[in-house]
Amino acid sequence: MKRHFSGKRFLGIICLLFSVGILLYICNPVPVYATERESNLTGTTDERTTMRNPGEAQSQEELQELNIGNTFSITYNDGNGQINGTLRILITLTLIALAPTLILMLTSFTRIIIVLHFTRAALNTQTAPPNQVMIGLALFLTFFIMQPTLNAVNENAVIPFEAGEIDQEEALKRGMEPFRDFMYGQTQKKDVRLFMEISGTEWDGNLDSIPSSVLIPSFIISELRSAFIIGFFIYIPFIVIDMVVASTLMSMGMMMLPPTTISMPFKILLFVLADGWNLIIGSLVKTFY
C-alpha cells in the first residue's frame, strides 16, 4: 500500500510541475525577432513581404501579430534563373502522359507493330504470340532503331538546356530537329505534297520549309503504306500453303474439314524451317537504314 501511494504521489508532483511550467510560458512569452541574413537568391530583393521591419514592434500585441503581408511578388531577370523542382515535376508528368502518342506517331513503332500483326494473322495462330509480347518486342525494336535520334536529342538539346546554355524554346527546337530528320527520311514526297496542298502552303522541296504540322501526318501515312506493303509480301507464301491444302482436301472429298485447321501446322513448319522471325525482324529493321 505504501508503494502504491508513493507512486501516485510522485506522478502527481510531476503533473503539477508540468502544469506550472506551461502557465509560466503562457504568461511570459518569449519575444522572437526576425533578423536579416544574407540571401543566396538570384533575383532582386527591393520589395519585402513583411509589413514591419524587424525591431519595430512597440507592444506585446504587435509581437504576437503575424508580420506577413497578404501579397507577394516574384522577380524574374532574363537569363538569371532556372526551373524549380515543382515545375520540373509538372513538365515530367506532362511528357509521361504524352509519351504514348509521341512513341506511336514520331517513331518507327507504327510500322513495326503493324508488320508483326500481319505476321501473326498470316500464321493464323490467333493469340500466339500474345499482344503483350508483340508490343514489348515493338517497343524494344523502336528504341534500337531510334537510338541515334535519341542520342542526338540528348546531346543537342537536353544537355545544353540542363547546363543553362540555351533556353526552353531553343531546347524544344533543337530536340525536334533529329525527329524531323528521321521522319523526313521515311516520308514519301507525294504525301508531303498532299498535305502542303491541303494547307495551301508552297513547298520548295526542302525539309526546312515543311512545318511539323504537315510532316507528322505525312510520315504517318507513309508508315502505314510501307507496313501494308510489307504485310502483303509476308502473306504470299502462307496463301500458297492454304491453296495447296484446300485443293488437296477437295480432291480427297474432305469438303467439311476446314482447310485452315490443316494448313496451320504446315505454316508453322515453314516459318520455323525458314527462320521466319530472323528474316522478318531483320528485313524490317533494315528498312529504316
Q: Which three cell numbers stand for residue 13?
A: 508532483
Q: Where are the alpha helices (DSSP H) in 54-209?
A: 60-64, 85-106, 109-123, 131-145, 147-153, 159-162, 168-186, 189-199
Nearest CA among 101, 97, 137 for reference residue 117: 137
Taking the C-alpha atoms of residue 241 and residue 235, their distance in angstroms, rounded to an integer, is 10
Beta bridge partners of residue 77, listed in sequence order: 80
- Whether the link from the prior residue into 129 is cis, omega within 30° of 0, is yes
Q: Which three cell numbers stand for residue 282?
A: 531483320
Nearest CA among 206, 207, 204 for reference residue 179: 207
For helices 109-123 and 131-145, angle between their N-to-C axes, nearest 10 degrees: 140
Taking the C-alpha atoms of residue 70 and residue 50, their distance in angstroms, rounded to an integer, is 9
The DSSP secondary-structure symbol of 109 reads H
Nearest CA among 137, 150, 167, 159 for reference residue 106: 150
Query: Given this model, what pLDDT does residue 76 score?
Result: 46
DSSP reduced 3-state for 164? coil
| Residue 213: partners with Cβ closer than 8 Å, 6 or more residues away | 199
For helices 212-251 and 259-273, angle between their N-to-C axes, nearest 10 degrees: 120
In tens digits, the chain (289 residues) has pLDDT values of 444 445 566 666 666 665 655 555 555 554 544 444 455 444 455 555 566 666 676 776 766 666 655 444 444 444 444 555 677 777 777 777 877 777 778 888 999 999 999 999 888 887 888 889 999 999 999 999 989 998 998 888 888 888 878 877 788 888 888 888 898 888 888 888 888 888 887 777 787 788 888 888 899 999 999 999 999 999 898 888 888 888 887 887 777 777 777 788 888 888 888 888 999 999 899 988 8
Taking the C-alpha atoms of residue 47 and residue 145, their distance in angstroms, rounded to an integer, is 54
CA distances from 245 to 9, 238, 253, 269, 273 (A): 101, 11, 12, 14, 18
Give pTM, 2 decimals: 0.64
Exposed, middle or buried, 57 (CB in 10 Å: 0-12/13-18/19+)?
Answer: middle
Query: Given this model, what pLDDT does residue 5 score?
Result: 46
